[in-house]
Amino acid sequence: MTLQDYRNDIQRCSRCSLCKWLPLAQIKSWRFANACPSMVWGNFHAYSAGGRMIAALSLLDGRIDYTDKLVEIVYQCQMGGACDVSCKVNRDLDPLEVMLELRAKCVEDGQVLPAHMVMIESLRSDDNVLGELKAERGKWAEDLDVKDITKEKADVLYFAGCRYSFDQDLWKIARDTIALLKMAGVDVGISGKEEACCGGRAFEIGYRGEFTKYAEHSIETWNAADVRTVVTSCSDCYGAFKFHYPRIGKKMNFEVLHITEYLDRLIKEGRLKPTKKVPLQVTYHDPCHLGRLSEPYIPWEGVERKVLGQVVIKDPPKEYRRGTNGIYEPPRDVLRSIQGLELVEMERIKEYAWCCGAGGGVMEAYPEFAQWTADERIEEAKATGAEALVTACPWCERSFRDALEHNGAKIKLYDIVELLLEAL
């Protein structure tokens, strides 16, 4: 698809502004009623999904040209898709797809951000988006007794992703994950320094060529190695496998599970038994890429026809993703399996969750905006009275750690894996 393919959708945007807010029935307080970080931070309609729809149409029609402001409007957005969920409460439109295509058009037209070019250069030279050396990938597991699937077969491939591979502060979580899998008797392997970026971030910032290269690489490598199950604890990678990989049309002969799904399965099968008490009141942050953005991609092929001389319909009708089929219960079930631990919910949860701030290349290009977005989520977590904020994604973890360091908020932060390990 291209931006042009969404022209009719864009023209059906009624400028109702519903994409800025949670759906009415989901609002519990005025304080946490916003859905769109970009809109609140930018404080102008152009920074909402509806605003970007108008900008996209104006570009297509040649009524506006690129300016620094327009480029900022396009990229100052985490692509977390809360707008998409809210818009679809009222009408079948795909504002998130439009914004993804708008970014691809910007890249095609050479309208890119220096911070994003740094990420892409790092991909081209070292297969990661963090500016690190390829040779250092896999160091997080150096002294772990874990199989190397490039040399021997394993039932499960653990995919660490760029953030866990290179963010040393987070290595413990990846190592804890391997420990948990081994305790459950899982035959697990990793690809060490042969692992490469999933390509998801490249897709989000509009670099389709790089995305396709990495998606093809992953699928072809794992199909050839006869990998049956890929488990990742990075929600961004998981979202890429589910939402973006199907777009390139290559058959994936393996199942992909997020670590929370897999751990939930292992607990329910009795292979992990959390028997130790962890007396803690926690609240859980749904990572966008594990929630609404992990809802599988639904391909549509058909034609758009005009009926009654004006209304454009899709033939056959298109099925829409509405965010409801993300991974919401497995992480909560893992938490509920821990004795002594109490889960209290924030106001914006599941498909209505507020973003952590890190996504869509915002952490790299607009760090202040990313930090404010995380600050907002921490405020919401604190409002529950919980002692700890728990998440299941290294990008959220990084974003919250940075925010806590700067705002000094008194709330503990955990990855779900750390709590489960404590309970065993």
14 binding ligand SF4? (CB under 6 A): yes
Asked if 130 and 160 touch (Cβ cutoff 8 Å), the reply is: no
Q: Which stretch binds ligand SF4 (CB under 6 A): 85-93, 126-134, 184-192, 336-344?
A: 85-93
Q: Which CB, 13 or 59, lies closer to ligand SF4? A: 13
- What kind and span of H or E run contains 357? none
Judged by CB under 6 A, which of 15, 28, 305, 412 binds ligand SF4? 15
Judged by CB under 6 A, which of 3, 6, 9, 13 binds ligand SF4? 13
42 binding ligand SF4? (CB under 6 A): no
Our separate counts of H helices and E strands in the chain read 18, 11
Residues numbered 335 to 394 that lie near ligand SF4 (CB under 6 A) are 355
**Total residues at interface with ligand SF4 (CB under 6 A):** 28
26 binding ligand SF4? (CB under 6 A): no
Cα-Cα-Cα-Cα torsion 1, 364, 214, 257, nearest 10 degrees, comes to -90
- What kind and span of H or E run contains 211? helix 208-224
Judged by CB under 6 A, which of 56, 79, 178, 341 binds ligand SF4? 79
Q: Which CB, 13 or 234, lies closer to ligand SF4? A: 13
Residues numbered 48 to 67 that lie near ligand SF4 (CB under 6 A) are 48-50, 53
Instruction: Tell me the one-letter amino acid at 405.
Output: E
17 binding ligand SF4? (CB under 6 A): yes
Cis bond before residue 394 (omega within 30° of 0): no
107 binding ligand SF4? (CB under 6 A): no
Least distance between ligand SF4 and beta carbon 230 (Å): 26
Residue 70 in tokens: 């327009």
Between CA 376 and CA 397 the distance in angstroms is 15
102 binding ligand SF4? (CB under 6 A): no
Between CA 262 and CA 18 the distance in angstroms is 36
2 binding ligand SF4? (CB under 6 A): no
Q: Where are the alpha helices (DSSP H) in 43-156?
A: 49-60, 68-75, 82-90, 95-108, 114-126
Least distance between ligand SF4 and beta carbon 264 (Å): 27
Asked if 164 and 140 touch (Cβ cutoff 8 Å), the reply is: yes
Asked if 173 and 418 touch (Cβ cutoff 8 Å), the reply is: yes
Least distance between ligand SF4 and beta carbon 337 (Å): 32
Judged by CB under 6 A, which of 87, 186, 196, 413 binds ligand SF4? 87
Q: Where are the alpha helices (DSSP H) in 246-327?
A: 259-268
Residues that bind ligand SF4 (CB under 6 A): 13-19, 35-39, 48-50, 53, 77-83, 87, 91, 93, 95, 355
